[in-house]
């Protein structure tokens, strides 16, 4: 039950479930009947009313005893804020900006661009332009001074030359010296790291999370866009087969990405590739379990390319 | 980010783990007195534990004042590195031009085509061209040639090396003194000695040699090119479980990517073609499936254009798709114009 809830989209809910489980454990130890009946009520209704359980705990006469025995996650200073719909909407309008990808069609489809706090996925067959979308987004986001970009690259496709081409297209009318300085400023804010297996990826993401918690206190230029290109090349070799640990690792990566996006107001962009499905059609890789993790999924495709024409010549 | 990595005594560590504190984040907001009570240890020991936690977390972020993670490089530094990087010439000027100078180091390039188009010839040409000394515009490195089909012929490599040296001496007149010392190194035997050859007879050997390459490359630091000819051969016939094949190949390609990045060399994989049934018709595509097509950085397809051999760049993050004709001559891979030039001089 624990693992099932962890795989669901809402991280908040899973923390509430952990709290419920902890309460059950502590209540059974203390042999307190009032808490026991309240606990049973909460469990039977399966309500996500963390407020309900906490409320009861606060009003409980033995609350000091309880609080001291609860795990740190449940103490009030770690409680996540409980917002109304109006507050969420105003927070979304003020804080969750759209980061431009630099490609008008894609920005229009996404309603403005990559949304902060959400995970966007780009799927497409080989050489359909996924890496180009990532490079373009990185350039445009830094150009408009949203913050820093971290690019995790699994196939050595990060091309600084291509980024410099995008930068040169941005402001064609600038004089040469200003172009040089703007190129340096923009490219100094894009960080690239190569990742070649899933353990390194998990390690890096944990590290990013810890560093972000500390950077919030220090200030300075903040991370605003995290790109993982491509997440499927590190996950695909471990899923499938007899053991199910690969699927757990995939779920951990997904949950980590979403948590980083939500808690630190970052847009996350991942790319995925396509595999053969039924009747020769292509479908996105990583299966149905991964499907629920990104908030938005974009499918890129390309029409018949000229190499198909050369294939026709072969068959003639 | 684990408790097990903290520099604390084993008894305290086991107490922490038994109470359920497995990650550093769970210890980040606890007061020392609470922790001391929880673990039933002295207050000083709890303070020490929390200090170790904060040291570990701040030390990792203090290493790089501006960066997010250790090892991350800015794009600006990578650009300056990239501009100083030399590329491996293929022998054909048109093909070099569309590739942006030649085969890039730190990238995995896949070359595929129908049988008889010249894949092995291109492989041997690259193995020779990577050894061109730095003074003549090459990389001056050695090559590792992993042969799965048995199509590497030492006599042909001798011929290609001879042709390469002849063209270098033709292009650079050997009057100046600085070239005289290099000229002694331009011997065909030296070129052949610079190719490390592995003959592979099964897919397990192929996986083993790629695992072994890391040690080999640490010993031989001047290797600048790894060619696998061809990566498909053993995976087409012996594998029953296609899903397992995809997983194994995925792991293989990640390891090759890591090698190319770590040792700053180019990896060239030669691939075969197969027919695929899509949209109601049969088409020729590269073998090993859709997942494999995502595992390389660049892809070049060699095909026939009438009576001419042509190379088409299908996938590249930094150059546009383009096509260039080439010839397979007695001296190796050459461009279309070079032959005509030679005819006019004579």
In the block, residue with structure tokens 């090119």: B225
Reported confidence tier of residue A24, pLDDT bands at 50, 70, 90: low
- pLDDT tens for A132-182 read 999 999 999 998 888 889 999 998 999 999 999 898 888 777 788 888 888
Q: Is A196 within 8 Å of B255 when comparing Cβ atoms?
A: yes
| Cβ neighbours of B305 in A, within 8 Å | 310, 313
Confidence of residue B176 (pLDDT cuts 50, 70, 90): low
- Residues of B within 8 A of A208 (CB-CB) are 68-69
B206-233 pLDDT tens trace:
999 999 999 999 999 999 999 998 888 8
**Per residue in B69-121, pLDDT tens?**
777 888 888 888 888 889 999 999 999 999 998 999 999 999 999 988 989 99
Residue A158 CB burial class (10 angstroms; 0-12, 13-18, ≥19): buried
Q: What are residue A229's DSSP bridge partners?
A: A153
Locate all alpha helices (DSSP H) within chain A, ordered by sequence. Answer: 2-6, 11-30, 33-45, 50-59, 63-69, 85-95, 104-109, 130-143, 160-170, 176-188, 198-218, 231-235, 245-264, 287-291, 306-315
B97 — contact with chain A (CB < 8 Å)? Answer: no
Contact flag A156-B107 (C-beta cutoff 8 Å): yes
Of B248, B293, B297, the CB nearest to A156: B297
ipTM reported for the complex, 2 dp: 0.81
Tell me if chain A has a CB within 8 Å of the CB of B180. Answer: no
B71 in contact with A, Cβ within 8 Å: yes
Q: Do B254 and A234 touch (CB under 8 A)?
A: yes
Rg of chain B (C-alpha set)? 27
What is the Cα–Cα distance from B159 to A45, expressed in whole angstroms? 82
Contacts with A131 from chain B: Cβ below 8 Å? 317
Alpha carbon B322 to its chain's center: 22
Least Cα separation, residue A86 to chain B (angstroms): 30
CB contact under 8 A, B251 and A237: yes
User: In the prediction, which pLDDT does B177 show?
Assistant: 62
């Amino acid at each position: 039950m624990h693992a099932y809830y962890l795989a669901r989209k809402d991280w908040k809910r899973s923390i509430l479930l952990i709290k419920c489980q902890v309460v059950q454990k502590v209540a059974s130890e203390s042999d307190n009947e009032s808490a026991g009946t309240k606990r049973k009520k909460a469990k039977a209704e399966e309500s996500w009313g963390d407020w309900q359980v906490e409320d009861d705990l606060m009003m409980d006469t033995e609350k000091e005893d309880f609080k001291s025995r609860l795990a740190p996650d449940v103490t009030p200073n770690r409680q996540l804020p409980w917002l109304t719909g109006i507050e969420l909407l105003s927070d979304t309008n003020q804080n969750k900006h759209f980061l431009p990808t630099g490609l008008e069609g894609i920005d229009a489809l996404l309603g403005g661009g990559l949304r902060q706090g959400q995970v966007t996925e780009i799927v497409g067959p080989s050489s359909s332009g996924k890496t180009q979308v990532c490079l373009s987004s990185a350039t445009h986001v830094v150009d408009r001074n949203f913050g820093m970009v971290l690019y995790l690259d699994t196939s050595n496709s990060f091309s600084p030359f291509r980024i410099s081409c995008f930068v040169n297209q941005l402001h064609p009318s600038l004089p040469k010296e200003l172009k040089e300085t703007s190129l340096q400023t923009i490219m100094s804010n894009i960080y690239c790291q190569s990742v070649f297996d899933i353990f390194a990826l998990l390690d890096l993401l944990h590290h990013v999370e810890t560093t972000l918690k500390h950077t919030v206190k220090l200030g300075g230029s903040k991370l605003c866009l995290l790109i993982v290109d491509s997440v499927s090349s590190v996950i695909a070799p471990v899923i499938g087969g007899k053991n199910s640990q690969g699927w757990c690792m995939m779920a951990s990566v997904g949950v980590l990405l979403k948590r980083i996006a939500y808690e630190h107001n970052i847009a996350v962009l991942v790319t995925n590739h396509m595999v053969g499905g039924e009747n020769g059609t292509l479908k996105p890789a990583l299966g149905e379990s991964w499907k629920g993790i990104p908030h938005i999924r974009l499918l890129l495709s390309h029409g018949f390319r000229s190499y198909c024409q050369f294939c026709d010549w072969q068959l003639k | 980010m684990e408790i097990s990595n903290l520099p604390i005594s084993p008894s305290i560590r086991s107490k922490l783990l038994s109470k359920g504190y497995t990650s550093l984040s769970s210890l980040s907001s606890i007061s020392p007195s609470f922790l001391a009570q929880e673990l039933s240890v002295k207050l000083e020991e709890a303070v020490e534990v929390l200090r170790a936690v904060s040291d570990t977390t701040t030390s990792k972020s203090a290493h790089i004042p501006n960066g997010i993670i250790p090892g991350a490089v800015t794009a600006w530094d990578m650009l300056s590195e990239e501009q100083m990087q030399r590329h491996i010439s293929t022998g054909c000027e048109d093909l070099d031009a569309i590739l942006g100078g030649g085969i890039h180091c730190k990238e995995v390039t896949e070359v595929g085509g129908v049988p008889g188009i010249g894949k092995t010839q291109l492989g041997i040409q690259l193995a020779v061209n990577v050894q061109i000394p730095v003074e003549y515009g090459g990389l001056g490195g050695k090559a590792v040639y992993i042969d799965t089909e048995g199509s590497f012929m030492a006599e042909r490599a001798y011929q290609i090396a001879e042709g390469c040296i002849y063209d270098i001496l033709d292009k650079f007149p050997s009057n100046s003194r600085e070239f005289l010392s290099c000229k002694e190194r331009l011997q065909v035997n030296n070129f052949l000695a610079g190719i490390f050859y592995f003959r592979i007879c099964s897919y397990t050997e192929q996986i083993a040699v790629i695992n072994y390459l890391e040690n080999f490359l640490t010993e031989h630091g001047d290797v600048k090119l790894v060619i696998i000819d061809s990566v498909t051969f053993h995976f087409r016939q012996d594998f029953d479980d296609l899903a397992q094949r995809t997983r194994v190949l995925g792991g293989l390609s990640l390891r090759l990517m890591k090698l190319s990045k770590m040792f700053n060399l180019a990896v060239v994989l030669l691939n075969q073609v197969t027919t695929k049934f899509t949209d109601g018709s049969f088409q020729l595509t590269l073998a090993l499936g859709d997942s494999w097509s995502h595992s390389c950085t660049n892809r070049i397809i060699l095909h026939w254009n009438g009576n001419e051999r042509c190379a088409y760049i299908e996938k590249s993050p930094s150059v546009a798709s383009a096509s260039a004709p080439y010839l397979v001559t007695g001296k190796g891979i050459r461009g279309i114009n070079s032959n005509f030039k030679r005819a006019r001089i004579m």
